[in-house]
Amino acid sequence: MVHADDARISDETLIGRVAAGDSSAFARLIRRHGAMVYRFARAAAPQETDCEEILREAFLAARRGAGRYRDEPSGRSWLLALARRAVERRSPRPGAGSASFGELARAAARRGPAAWDGSGGPAEAVAAALAALPAEDREILTLYDRELLTLDEVARVTGIADAALRTRLHRARLRLLAELKGALRGG
């Protein structure tokens, strides 16, 4: 069955069809969100992880669990939460640390150039600085600042409550700034 107007089919509808055994709907779900889940796996999992396997496990879990889909912020956060579980099964991760905001801001300020306005930071440098951060930071920045999930959605994926989540987001941004400035300075 071909759906001519696929973009208008909501994730919830697709997931409902998956629950009913519609393999065409499952393929559509993969096409719609596979890249996002894969990017998340690459950001959240340790470097040596087989992210294709994470992707497969997440969608396998989605097919098995589609019948229980309800009260979710969104289909994408549900899928990403499944992917995160697959990542965690492989690598229970240490936290990114709890340095104070002041310490992190000073670390960023110490690193040149004196003030960074976004210029001179090619995408490669930003991606490399992001990759150098602890997994916890990479994860939250990927979800919120790259995939543009809402805080509710990020909370669903990570299992971190709202206030703590906002604190972690701020810390992750400060650490990325310090990392990026250090890299642009060459040290």
Partner 1 sequence: MEDERIVAGLHCGEVVADVTEYLEGRLSPQRAARIGEHLNGCDDCQRLAEEISAVVRALRALPEEPLPPEVEARLLASLGSTEAAPHG
* Residue ranges in contact with partner 1 by CB under 8 A: 2-4, 6-7, 9, 23-24, 26-28, 30-32, 34-35, 38-39, 52, 55-56, 59-60, 63, 101-102, 105-106, 108-109, 115-118, 121, 123, 126-127, 130, 141, 145-146, 148, 166, 169-170, 173-174, 176-177, 180-181
As measured in angstroms, the least distance from the Cβ of 76 to partner 1 is 13
Q: How far is CA 120 from CA 57, 115, 129, 174, 185, in A?
A: 39, 12, 14, 18, 10
- Per DSSP, helices labelled H in 20-150 are 23-44, 51-65, 75-90, 101-110, 123-131, 135-141
Q: Residue 26 or residue 78: which is nearer to partner 1 going by CB?
A: 26
Q: Residue 8 or residue 71: which is nearer to partner 1 going by CB?
A: 8
What phi and psi, each to the nearest 5 degrees, are found at residue 186? 95, 25
As measured in angstroms, the least distance from the Cβ of 64 to partner 1 is 11
Contacts of 160 (CB under 8 A, 6+ apart): 154, 168
